[in-house]
Amino acid sequence: MFRRRRPVEDFAAELESDLQLEIDRLQEDGMSADEARAAARRAFGNTTLATERFFESHRWRWWDQLTQDVRYAVRTLRKAPAFAAAAILTMAVGIGATTAIFSVVDATLLRPLPYPDPGQLVSVIDDLTGVGSRDVGLSQPEWLDLERSGIFEHISPAWYDENNLTGASRPTTVRLTIVAPNYFALLGVQPQLGRAFPPRDRNPGFTGDAVISDGMWQRGFGRDPNVLEKSIRLDTDLYRVIGVMPPDFRPPGLTPDERSVDVWAATSFYGPPLLMHPPRNVRNIPGAIARLAPGLTVAAAQVRVDALVAALRQEYPADYPAAAAWAVRLVPLRDRVMGGTRQPLLLLLAAVAVVLVIGSVNVANLLLARASARGRELAVREALGAGRARLVRQLLTESLVLSFAGAVSAVVVLFVAQGVLMRLVPAQLPRLHAITIDWAVLLFAFSAALLSGAIFGLVPALHVGRVDVIPALKHEGRGMTSSAGHATTRRLLVVAECALSLVLLVAAGLLVRSFWSLLHERLGFDPERVVTVRTRLPYPNDTSVDKYPTIAQEAPFVREVLRRVRALPGVDSVAVGSSDAIPLDPAQRILGLFPMLIEGRGTEATQAPLVDGTVVTPGYFELLGRTLVRGRLFTDFDSETAAGVAVINEAAARKFWPSEDPIGQHVKLSRSATAWTTIVGVVTDARTESLQDANVPVIYASAYQRSQKHLAIFLRGHIDVATAADRVREQVQAIDSTLPVFGAQALSETVSTSLSDRRFAIEAVGLFAVTALLLAAIGIYGVIAYQVSERTHEIGIRLALGADKGTILRAILGQGLGLVAAGLALGLVCAVIVSRLMSGLLYGVHPADPATFIVVAAALTLVGFCACYIPARRAIRIDPNLTLRN
Amino acid sequence: MSTKRREPLDLLQGTLDLLILRTLIFGPQHGHAIARAIKHTSDHELLVEHGALYPGLQRLEERRWITGKWGVSDNNRRARFYSLTALGRKQLAAETSKWKRLATAITRILESEPAEG
């Protein structure tokens, strides 16, 4: 039962009326009115205390005290606006930065994938570990075997591609994912309009249906509610629109393009345009996702998959030679999507947490200094009957008011600056769109404020617990309280600050060094004045309408493009290649793995190693400034009717012909090839596939000899990127008006974009490290300045007695630098550990790089010196006359 | 009433409740009258502080051993009168017997003779 309490006024009224009754009685006994009143008051004693006690037994007393404390805290802080502003600003920076990074971590790493029961979703990855090839894709029979195994509720290939959308005003490309009909049932999502593919459909060929994204519905159909009766023409095939996915649906994918697909088409991966009976050993499906059977864990499923793989290898020994060691891996879908973002994000979160801790330490220092100065006030309050617990609570309330004021201002700034801040986040980050300031983020900011406020508030509050009232009251002036204890704590806090900022600076320094080494690596190609523009030839399912069924049609098209584009004003040279011939473009990883059979090695087709393969026209190497090492480059004579030729890089030569001359060697670059391709040239290694790794074997085939649908046109000269696409489009569409031309990019821009991930990490960690350094400097300055102000009197006397100014200066500096040195020693130990943990993020620099450590330590010492020097100089300028008179 | 005034005794912890309940068994009283009754009945040995009395009354009321009601005194003044509830009577009986047992036990110890050896 919960009854309402008596109001305190009612209680006071009772006391008053009882007092009146006593006065009446005493008057009846014969006392005068005044005597009676005085006697009654004496008998009743302290009625205020009684009322107070009644009030204190109130259930909500703590709330009243809290509001009282908060009011008092706000009032006190208002009286010290500089202190309050400094503390709130420090907390706002710390909490704001931590919250901002947390919102990114929350959206990417913490929140589950936005599909029902996301823990059951896995990525299915095939490896040929025996020949060192990973993620090789799977064949249709393998997919069916896995589907029938009972391990999965659903398993669906996901084959990302681009397609030409024609029929609209201008041909464009759309992002397409080819899936099995059960794809949406697997993810557990429903269209907002219409229906998904019938999951059990296993008919040959494509279903002829398309599900489109909300964005596509908007762009292509202006949100027409009758879109379900319409068709779209992709690569000249007609698809019926059967469903529109909801606006917040994002499919899982490895690249930003895969995660923002426009159209889904469904097939069971056999029948035209594919083979009616796809062979088991042709793994043309790039990958699959699956939903595990209910109740099955990833580990348990992996055990069953391993058993299935063993059985299949036994059943089809010809397709699965033991040497290839075919294996199937299940990886939680989330891990696959998040990929390499985990480590940098966690580093950022750790870095920003360190900033928050240093900020808290600084505020703790400020509060401790204030607590010393307020010793007399606190002693008076204690003498007046405030309990120690109450005083501690009062100080804690003050610090919490500070941290919450900081948190609130931080969240307000984050809200206002959201748009600007989001632009700083690299676009490749998965689940970028999910980054918002939501309840989880607000809760985080709240907890950060609570925790930091409690930490920096407790240090001074606990010191108050040790206040000795009598000396504090007797002490003249401001009344110092246990200054020695305070000073020790403050010194320890400064040491901790120095150590933490050193760790952060080392981390930032190592990242900057890595970036620097990457920037100064020789690329092996010249990206300046090169612009790339893309186009794509259709690849219709209905082969009868295919205008480019073989290389005999493609090669003349490519030649015509070269002829026309070369004639454009400002163009010095031109080449065409497959879109993955664009160096360092992370979006162009659609195709580009050639199985390579080497003549005389006796390797079976299924064991052929997969090599990064690219298709280029003559002039490509010259245009990019690649250097020929041996043999020759492609010429116009390497045509569709001539014998097949290929060029390799030095890494491929080293890997496949370590002790032979690769020139003149014969290889087959597809499983179905009958004729041999001759290697005619070796070019120098270049960082075309990865900026970090020049040692990637690459094989180049002639664009007149090997079919390629995704094309990139390379132009070198004085070319305006903004108009390049339009000018090239005119020429390409003069040849074929159905082809889209898009994606004009300066190659130097592509190269620098490939560094954007790293740049973000460096900028963020660097910013945090500098913030930490500044905060630490403020901390050192605060401690030394406070000590100097405390010793003003003493220094004055010393100076008056003729002490040497230099000695005093050195003594003060020595004290400060002693703290810095202790911090450095502690920090170096921690930094060695931390830098080893982050070695995966480093490039071209040892985790214990002495140069970085020395520079960082020197920087910290210098900043520490300055922070000590300013107050120290003030100390020796003290006028002895002034201080002594005070 | 003794002629010689002695210092009043301190109330033992927890006995105030018992004294209030006992005093109220003679009928409803207001707070100050309860204090006076305890003082008189104890022959001025026990003095109840008002600072303890009124919060004590409040406590007993919250435990529903007594109820307080605003009424009018003999001389037409408003006063808050407390009376025992059924629960309070039961509590008084229990507390009284407990107190008596305690008092007897302590008395026994205080008055015991050294055992003959």
The residues on B that touch A, with CB distances below 8 Å, are: 30-33, 49-51, 53-55, 58-59, 68, 73, 75, 77-80
How is chain A split among helix, strand and coil, in percent rounded to 5? 55, 15, 30
- pLDDT at position A558 is 95
C-alpha span between B109 and B116 (Å, rounded): 16
Residue showing tokens 């300045």: A785
Q: Chain B residue with minimal CA distance to A5? A: B62
Mean pLDDT of all residues in B14-26: 88
C-alpha span between A800 and A794 (Å, rounded): 10
The more confident residue out of A765 and A62 is A765
Whether the predicted pLDDT of A879 surpasses 60: yes
Strand, coil or helix: what is A155?
strand
C-alpha span between A410 and A421 (Å, rounded): 13
The answer for residues whose C-beta is within 8 angstroms of residue A197's C-beta and 6 or more apart is A179, A181, A182, A183, A184, A207, A209, A211, A242, A264, A266
Mean pLDDT of all residues in A246-256: 87
Whether the predicted pLDDT of A196 surpasses 90: yes
Which among A353, A363, A501, A337 has a CA at the least distance from the CA of A434?
A337
Q: Which residues of A741-780 are buried (b: 16+ CB within 10 A; e: fewer)?
A: bebbbbbeebbebbbebbebbbebbbebbebbbbbbbbbb
The residues on A that touch B, with CB distances below 8 Å, are: 6, 11, 14-15, 17-22, 24, 43-47, 49-50, 53-54, 57
pLDDT in tens, A36-67: 888 888 777 766 766 766 666 555 566 777 78
Q: Chain B residue with minimal CA distance to A16? A: B79
CB atoms within 10 A of CB B30: 23
Find chain A residues with C-beta within 8 A of B50's C-beta. 15, 43-45, 47, 50
Using pLDDT thresholds of 50, 70 and 90, give the confidence band for residue B10: low
C-alpha span between A692 and A841 (Å, rounded): 11
Mean pLDDT of all residues in A456-474: 66
Cβ–Cβ below 8 Å for B54 and A50: yes
pLDDT in tens, B39-53: 888 888 888 877 778
Mean pLDDT of all residues in A461-472: 63
- Domains in chain B: ranges and CATH: 15-111 (1.10.10.10)
Whether the predicted pLDDT of B115 surpasses 70: no
C-alpha span between A558 and A553 (Å, rounded): 9
The alpha-carbon gap from A18 to the nearest alpha carbon of chain B, in Å, equals 6
Calculate the alpha carbon distances from A837 to A432, A833, A848, A856 in Å.
26, 7, 11, 19
- pLDDT at position B1 is 42
Calculate the alpha carbon distances from A845 to A521, A667, A857 in Å.
13, 39, 18
The alpha-carbon gap from B105 to the nearest alpha carbon of chain A, in Å, equals 34
C-alpha angle A150-A153-A157 in degrees, rounded to nearest 5:
100
pLDDT in tens, A406-439: 999 989 988 888 877 777 777 767 777 777 778 8
Please, what's the largest Cα pairwise distance for chain B? 69
Of B33, B49, B59, the CB nearest to A45: B49
Cβ–Cβ below 8 Å for B32 and A22: yes
Cβ–Cβ below 8 Å for A53 and B30: no
Cβ–Cβ below 8 Å for B50 and A47: yes
Which among A527, A670, A694, A705 has a CA at the least distance from the CA of A591?
A670
Dihedral sign (CA A506, A508, A512, A518):
positive
| For testing contact with chain B, the best of A44, A57, A58, A59 (most B CBs within 10 A) | A44
Calculate the alpha carbon distances from A546 to A208, A266, A537, A641 in Å.
17, 20, 10, 21
- pLDDT at position A83 is 79
The alpha-carbon gap from B55 to the nearest alpha carbon of chain A, in Å, equals 5
Whether the predicted pLDDT of A480 surpasses 50: no
The alpha-carbon gap from A469 to the nearest alpha carbon of chain B, in Å, equals 27
Per cent of chain B over pLDDT 70 is 85
Residue showing tokens 């007797």: A474
The more confident residue out of B75 and A137 is A137
Which among A394, A358, A360, A402 has a CA at the least distance from the CA of A83?
A402
The alpha-carbon gap from B117 to the nearest alpha carbon of chain A, in Å, equals 54
Cβ–Cβ below 8 Å for A54 and B30: no
Cβ–Cβ below 8 Å for B55 and A46: no
pLDDT in tens, A721-744: 999 999 999 999 999 999 999 989
Of B31, B58, B75, the CB nearest to A24: B75
Mean pLDDT of all residues in A227-255: 90
Mean pLDDT of all residues in A196-212: 91
- pLDDT at position A476 is 45
- pLDDT at position B3 is 44
Cβ–Cβ below 8 Å for A19 and B32: yes
From A5-14, A271-280, A699-708, the region with the lowest mean pLDDT? A5-14
- pLDDT at position B16 is 86
C-alpha span between A605 and A672 (Å, rounded): 9
Whether the predicted pLDDT of A191 surpasses 90: yes
Mean pLDDT of all residues in A212-234: 90
C-alpha span between A829 and A824 (Å, rounded): 9
Q: Return the structure tokens found at A548.
A: 């480019």
- pLDDT at position A464 is 64
ipTM above 0.90, yes or no: no
pLDDT in tens, A820-848: 899 999 999 999 998 888 888 888 888 88
- pLDDT at position A877 is 80
Whether the predicted pLDDT of B17 surpasses 70: yes
Cβ–Cβ below 8 Å for B54 and A43: no
Whether the predicted pLDDT of A786 surpasses 80: no
Per cent of chain A over pLDDT 70 is 91
Mean pLDDT of all residues in A506-516: 88
| For testing contact with chain B, the best of A9, A17, A20, A28 (most B CBs within 10 A) | A17
Cβ–Cβ below 8 Å for A15 and B73: no
Strand, coil or helix: what is A667?
strand
Of B30, B49, B51, the CB nearest to A18: B30
Mean pLDDT of all residues in A850-865: 90
Cβ–Cβ below 8 Å for B58 and A24: no
| For testing contact with chain A, the best of B16, B29, B30, B32 (most A CBs within 10 A) | B32
Mean pLDDT of all residues in A585-592: 62
- pLDDT at position A3 is 47
Report how many Cβ contacts below 8 Å link chain A to chain B: 58
Of A18, A21, A49, the CB nearest to B51: A49
C-alpha angle A435-A440-A441 in degrees, rounded to nearest 5:
60
Cβ–Cβ below 8 Å for A20 and B77: yes
Whether the predicted pLDDT of A881 surpasses 90: no
Cβ–Cβ below 8 Å for B79 and A18: yes
Cβ–Cβ below 8 Å for B73 and A21: yes
Which among A194, A111, A209, A201 has a CA at the least distance from the CA of A154?
A201
Find chain B residues with C-beta within 8 A of A49's C-beta. 51
C-alpha span between A504 and A497 (Å, rounded): 11
From A55-69, A551-565, A699-713, the region with the lowest mean pLDDT? A55-69
- Average pLDDT score over chain A: 85
Q: Return the structure tokens found at A519.
A: 């920037």
